[in-house]
Amino acid sequence: MPLSEQEQRLLEEMERSLYNNDSDFVATVGNHGGRPNYTLVVVGVLGALVGIAVIVAGVIFRQPLLGVAGFVVMLAGALFAIAPPKRKGSASSMPSAPRSSTSRPANPAKGGLMDRLNDRWDRRQDGDGRDS
């Protein structure tokens, strides 16, 4: 079921507010569209394989410390392989998001989205009936 026009406007307003107020969070969460760096993946997989070989060597030679070191190398290689690629330059957000130099709303008297939603909720509970 598609969203109504009012719901779409509210969703867009919430997105804009999120981009304006929490740009660091958006930049952290929004980095899923990048292309993986296959060189880093191959190096990580090779590191994990070397770690497995060191674990096997630790078992063969009955050296628990060698097995633990192999596990650490294997874990580091696996984490290296699955780690997201580092972005060069500034963090990018969605192109439709307005960029702001401050983390506060442009009109402090109007308040943030949550303040406005709370005010609307309070008005509904009081029986005022006005939404805007």
Average pLDDT, the chain: 78
Lowest-confidence pick of 39-53, 57-71, 89-103, 113-127: 89-103
Separation CA 18–CA 22 (nearest Å): 5
Query: Where do the structural domains in the chain lie, given as residue ranges?
Result: 1-30, 34-85
Q: Tokens 């307003």 — which residue?
A: 13
Separation CA 22–CA 16 (nearest Å): 10
Question: Within 13 A of 128's CA, how many CA atoms are on the CB side?
Answer: 11
| Spatial CA neighbour of 21 closest among 124, 129, 108 | 108
* Residue 123 or residue 88, greater confidence: 123
Q: Which pTM does this prediction carry?
A: 0.45
pLDDT of residue 111: 66
Q: Which of 53-67, 87-101, 110-124 has the highest mean pLDDT?
A: 53-67
For 86-114, how does the pLDDT look when each residue is reduced to its tens digit (9 = 90+)? 765 544 444 444 444 444 444 545 567 88
pLDDT of residue 92: 47
